[in-house]
A and B are shown apart, each in its own frame.
Chain A
């Protein structure tokens, strides 16, 4: 049962691509994948739950992305868990700070007994930019707020998750044909519900909310992240 809880602790643990502070730009796209999740003492010592997410986003305009992700670990447990989002660039300075807002919808469904489903909306704010004079190293942070419309007894109606990450951008590749590509590797940390002090079947670490760690990768086609 502990693992059961851990498997579905994906909402609020950062299912989406880590660094969303910059939209990809009209006509550009990105594939991303991440692994990791909240620390839980499932098999003894506290380790990140091995969530694996894959997804992508496309730029419908220079200021708006559409984003989607699928959680593979949940799918392995016959739970369809995916999210769709729209990201809007609120502020952007070339080579400097960028800020984006996101509205996301998590959907979870039972593949064994459809059509049982649950929807959880999320609002997010993302800020980030390169370290001065080190343009291949980006820092980013922000917070998300997932709403649980019908929380269980004594449960919180919101998952408030501040996050912080470091992203290493690999040298971009100029394509002879097609679009220029850019790879990014991120270490993403999040703190789910830090205000909450409560032990549960899912043994969150520490007892004040849950710390989550993800390793993220993304491949961008066109629209270099700089």
Chain B
């Protein structure tokens, strides 16, 4: 009996060893064959977070998704290849009246269709918006990892954005939401170091974490090193601390965010070294609700930031 018990326990250990990884929980990607932008009533792939938040906070009866408010003439879709051959999908929303462009890096959920209503919102304010999918997300090929996230952002920014209609490379802002804070701060860091061909006028991040390690430590309440649990050591606090001091940064965070708690926004703010760094905590707003719960404050703050740093002549 004893020997059987010991053998069973040893078997369990061997069976369990090495068969799981934690990073599969970090990226919540979902492949998509195509986005049916103009389907009426709507393509479920375009079910956006803002629309969901509106339903949740305002009690509907808004539909869960809607056909794209940005028409086919304003949408420019395509692919760009990474060095390893993976093709990265991007969509550029061109606003003919815009003089400013926002380079948008989305969160971890599904694919860019999940964030299309955020693109629509920025576009409706009078800006061009470029959004893209990380490897393994939407129509982009491969599997997601930190290096691939950075590489896809760099490829779209440097090799695609300059050729898009209406883009003035001197009037570009980097914006990232949640996971998108990683590539946003990485690109801003590279621009500050002079290794990127596009220099942003400013950086906006929303609901972004300080680092993967801080996320792990916040969740476990222990001082565990990041390498225990992840091969994707995003370190936005490190990057924000190494940006050009003249590069303005706006940090937006929901004060009631219980997914990435506001502590991370404070940590980012404390790590920043720039002379123009603003922390905006939106009251009563959860992780994905900032544009809805803080509608006027959100719009006013972002538009003021963009228009102050890139005024229309």
Q: Which chain A residues have a beta carbon within 8 Å of chain B's beta carbons?
A: 1-5, 7-9, 11, 31, 33, 52, 54, 70, 72-73, 75-79, 108, 110-113, 116, 118, 120, 148-156, 159, 181, 193, 198-203, 219, 221
- Given A120-B222, A148-B221, A199-B261, do A113 and B25 touch, yes or no (CB 8 Å)? no
**Is the CB–CB distance between A110 and B219 below 8 Å?**
no
| Beyond known contacts A79-B228, A112-B227: 16 more, CB 8 A cutoff | A1-B26, A3-B25, A4-B229, A5-B216, A7-B22, A54-B9, A54-B12, A70-B13, A78-B17, A116-B228, A152-B218, A154-B263, A155-B217, A155-B222, A201-B219, A202-B219
Q: How far is the CA of A199 from the CA of B262 in the complex (A)?
A: 11
**Is the CB–CB distance between B222 and A118 below 8 Å?**
yes
- Given A75-B16, A110-B228, do A148 and B222 touch, yes or no (CB 8 Å)? yes
B215 interface neighbour in A1, A33, A110, A159, Cβ under 8 Å: A1
Q: Which residues of A contact B222 (CB under 8 A)?
A: 8, 11, 118, 120, 148, 151-152, 155
Closest CB-CB distance, B220 to chain A, in whole Å? 5
Q: Which residues of B contact A154 (CB under 8 A)?
A: 218, 263
Q: Which residues of B contact A111 (CB under 8 A)?
A: 17
**Is the CB–CB distance between B20 and A150 below 8 Å?**
no
**Is the CB–CB distance between A31 and B26 below 8 Å?**
no
**Is the CB–CB distance between B267 and A153 below 8 Å?**
yes
Q: How far is the CA of A31 from the CA of B2 in the complex (A)?
A: 9
Does B283 sit at the interface, judged by CB under 8 A? no
**Is the CB–CB distance between B20 and A116 below 8 Å?**
no
Q: Tally of A-B residue pairs with Cβ under 8 A?
A: 123
Q: How far is the CA of A42 from the CA of B166 in the complex (A)?
A: 44
Q: Which residues of A contact B224 (CB under 8 A)?
A: 8, 108, 118
Q: Which residues of B contact A72 (CB under 8 A)?
A: 12-13, 16
**Is the CB–CB distance between B2 and A152 below 8 Å?**
no
Does B97 sit at the interface, judged by CB under 8 A? no
B219 interface neighbour in A33, A54, A149, A200, Cβ under 8 Å: A200
Q: How far is the CA of A120 from the CA of B221 in the complex (A)?
A: 12
**Is the CB–CB distance between A152 and B221 below 8 Å?**
yes
Q: Which residues of A contact B229 (CB under 8 A)?
A: 4, 7-8, 77, 79
Q: Which residues of A contact B221 (CB under 8 A)?
A: 148, 151-152, 155-156, 159, 193, 200
**Is the CB–CB distance between A219 and B5 below 8 Å?**
yes
Q: How far is the CA of A52 from the CA of B229 in the complex (A)?
A: 18
Chain A residue with Cβ nearest B222: A148
Chain B residue with Cβ nearest A192: B221
Q: Which chain B residues have a beta carbon within 8 Å of chain A's beta carbons?
A: 1-2, 5-6, 9, 12-13, 16-22, 25-26, 212, 214-225, 227-230, 258-261, 263, 267
**Is the CB–CB distance between B2 and A78 below 8 Å?**
no
**Is the CB–CB distance between B21 and A77 below 8 Å?**
yes
Q: Which residues of A contact B230 (CB under 8 A)?
A: 4
* B16, B21, B221, B229 interface centre (most CB from chain A within 10 Å): B221
Q: How far is the CA of A79 from the CA of B230 in the complex (A)?
A: 11
Q: Which residues of B contact A79 (CB under 8 A)?
A: 228-229
**Is the CB–CB distance between B217 and A75 below 8 Å?**
no
Q: How far is the CA of A3 from the CA of B219 in the complex (A)?
A: 10
- Given A52-B12, A201-B215, do A148 and B228 touch, yes or no (CB 8 Å)? no
Q: Which residues of A contact B260 (CB under 8 A)?
A: 201
Q: Which residues of B contact A52 (CB under 8 A)?
A: 12
Closest CB-CB distance, B103 to chain A, in whole Å? 25
* A3, A118, A181, A200 interface centre (most CB from chain B within 10 Å): A200
26 contacts across the A-B interface (CB closer than 8 A): A1-B212, A1-B219, A4-B219, A5-B219, A7-B229, A8-B224, A9-B220, A31-B5, A52-B12, A54-B12, A72-B13, A76-B19, A76-B20, A77-B20, A77-B22, A78-B21, A110-B227, A153-B263, A153-B267, A154-B218, A155-B217, A193-B221, A198-B261, A200-B219, A200-B261, A201-B219
A201 interface neighbour in B2, B17, B18, B259, Cβ under 8 Å: B259
Q: How far is the CA of A52 from the CA of B261 in the complex (A)?
A: 29
Q: Which residues of B contact A1 (CB under 8 A)?
A: 22, 25-26, 212, 215-216, 219
